[in-house]
Amino acid sequence: FPSHDRELDKVRKSKVHFYSRNEKTSWIFDKLNSIITIINENYYNYNLNGYSDFQYTEYHASEHGKYDWHMDIVHGATKYNQTRKLSCVLCISEPNKDFFGGEFQINLGKESKAETVATKKGRVIIFPSFMIHRVKPVTKGKRKSIVVWVLGPKFK
């Protein structure tokens, strides 16, 4: 897979670590679960089965941290024959204080019409996993976030 890694490095420059639910992390899962439930019931009404871990991500300005345009949908076989339905991003550093740049954008059909989503420390952004989105390069500091992908049966 070395060629794939080089290609991914062109698209994504970040440090990631995955955390499962345990005594130290359960409060994070509880907070996210309540937000996900409310948003899903009020806006999407997707058939969801949950998620097993979260991804902690750091984008460093010193490494030009970024994640170019992508979707979170996994094509082909998925874990437990589920698909990613909702993507959730929790910003845990303060924009324009802890980091500069690193704007979160969703592509609404044309890159030129991409919407920059206002972020602040503690804000959760939830959107369908099939939406194209990106994190622009961090120009100063370190952008930290927690990401989860909520799974459910394949769309019909």
Model pTM score: 0.90
| Residue 2 pLDDT | 43
Q: How many CA atoms lie within 13 A of 43 on its CB side?
A: 12
| Residue 77 pLDDT | 58
| Residue 54 pLDDT | 97
Spatial contact of 156 and 85, defined as CB atoms under 8 Å apart: no
* DSSP H/E element including 82: none
SS3 76: coil
Which tokens go with 11? 């698209």
| Residue 1 pLDDT | 33
Phi, psi of 6 (to 5 degrees): -65, -40
Output 73-79 pairs: Cβ under 8 A, ≥24 positions apart. Answer: 73/129, 73/130, 78/151, 79/151
Spatial contact of 48 and 40, defined as CB atoms under 8 Å apart: yes
E strand intervals along the chain: 12-13, 15-20, 53-60, 66-70, 83-91, 99-101, 104-106, 115-117, 124-128, 133-135, 138-152
| Residue 4 pLDDT | 45
Residue-by-residue pLDDT tens, the chain, 156 positions: 344 455 666 799 999 999 999 999 999 999 999 999 999 999 999 999 999 999 999 999 999 999 999 999 877 656 667 899 999 999 999 999 999 999 999 998 877 778 999 999 999 999 999 999 999 999 999 999 999 999 999 888
Please state, in angstroms and rounded to a whole number, the distance separating the CA atoms of residues 56 and 93: 12
| Residue 113 pLDDT | 79
Spatial contact of 59 and 143, defined as CB atoms under 8 Å apart: yes
